[in-house]
Structure 1
């Protein structure tokens, strides 16, 4: 359409920019997401776009947040310790802002709630859903996958994406000892409690298992975007990373065995 700029990088939705706004497809979860975004504004949290209802074509209207997002292979400025710490702190600020969110009784969510519902998880905290300026994060975007859940459910997936916790056989993966150091740094910056720290890696594995199941279910249901992800091998990529997370001793920073499966290519994305 005239005056619309297609925003590249989206793997599922067709997203366009119109002046200082973004227009995106809606779903049953959109009313709950917009209620959440209004709450964040009232709370004073500035790290999310404001929602402005729907346009004449039935698309949701959101603020365009200027800056850079990152996709794979990740640029070096996303992988600095400073960026990692800042993402963890922004995520903590976001979670704290959602504690008081009055969840609508009729709320529908993209993903079902996960117990205990301590916060409203973003659901897909990743470099491609984070806006950076001067190498530091300023906002999270694409809240479609938001849903109630425990803090660690969101923290574990964010750590997987930003540490990142990839099998060393993947291109660009850092050594496991460095992954362990950066994982501790991320948990420290978030202020993660002892119980959640103990559950962090297993939660990351559970989150990836959830992602693989969802991806395959959507592909089997005829969703072209997710069918493309499966055909590309994204599900097998995640399974390799799940095996890596189970193999490495994250407490002692040792690898008990050396026959971890490997894979080529950069980490896939979900959004």
Structure 2
């Protein structure tokens, strides 16, 4: 018996017993190799790849807990959770540092240089699993691709600090001073001395611009999921947040 799971904005996701099933893509073999690699490195907070079913859908293990949904519960935006998220993404990055994808790998999301790790590219509340008020796992690796650590950190900081304009409808606006404090806490908890808050802000601008371009291009190419994203006005929100970050770079990253 199949149960449709919440989320799945891009593809239909169903539960069958203790497994999750959804459509595959050209990137699926590399993503399954990545999931296998994570297990071999002791990172067990990602799903286990279990092959494909008779309908050609990928099979992955079902993680405990549930993702966070908007509007976010208060505990998701606490300092304690911000530190937990930073430490989990550091643990994930470290586990991928020696991953070597197959030569014929096709990534859904573009790779970026330097290719220090396998970026998750969407390490956000809606892809993190929570039990009670504890962070327990991460899902949805389909957009993973090689890139620098700070590329991943930028989008996660955007979602969790949050690095957003006052008009962003998803999260309450905390003010520049609080954004600066939480960004510094997030970067410190991640723990790479060469990555500074200013780097995260600068890359967040590039990351959001690329996201807008991706949505517009895919919608124009006939992707119904991205057309729906475009129609509901997400790119307008991202463009406004980009302008906010550009206008407040020094205030967000100065001590």
Tell me if structure 2 keeps the 8 A contact 1:82–1:136.
no
Instruction: Say if 1:152 and 1:196, in contact at 8 Å, map to a contact too.
Output: no
Instruction: Give distance in 2, aligned partners of 1:84 and 1:195.
Output: 17
Runs (4+) off by over 6 Å: none
Kindly tell me the number of residue pairs found equivalent between the two proteins.
251
1:119 and 1:151 in contact (8 A); partners too: yes
After TM superposition, the structure 1 stretch with the greater mean CA deviation from structure 2, 114-123 or 187-196, is 187-196
Which range moved further: 192-201 or 10-19? 192-201
Question: Within 2, Cα distance between the matches of 1:160 and 1:234?
Answer: 14
Aligned to 1:38: 36
- Secondary structure of 2:130's counterpart equals strand
- How far 1:197 moved relative to its partner? 3.7
The TM-score normalised by the length of structure 2 is 0.95
Which residues of structure 1 form unaligned runs of 5+? 254-271
SS at match of 1:148: strand
* Rounded Cα–Cα distance in structure 1 between residues aligned with 2:125 and 2:160: 7
Q: How does 1:38-57 map to 2 (within 5 A)?
A: 38-57=36-55
Higher alpha-carbon deviation: 207-216 or 67-76: 67-76
Match of residue 125 from structure 1: 123
SS in 2 for 1:250: helix
Aligned to 2:166: 168
1:54-74 deviations in whole A, cap 9, x for unaligned?
A: 011000000111102112111
Q: Is the 8 A contact 1:168 1:176 kept in 2?
A: no
| Residue 25 (1) aligns with residue 23 (2) | yes
Segment drifting more, 216-225 vs 13-22: 216-225
Q: What is the match of residue 224 of structure 2?
A: 224
Structure 1 position 162, deviation (Å): 1.1
Aligned partner of 2:109 among 88, 104, 111: 111
Tell me if 1:199 matches 2:199. yes
How far 1:180 moved relative to its partner? Answer: 1.1
Q: Report Cα offsets for 1:182-208 as digits up to 9, x if no partner.
A: 111110110133345431101001000
Alignment gaps of 5+ in structure 2: none
CA distance in 2, matches of 1:196, 1:81: 18
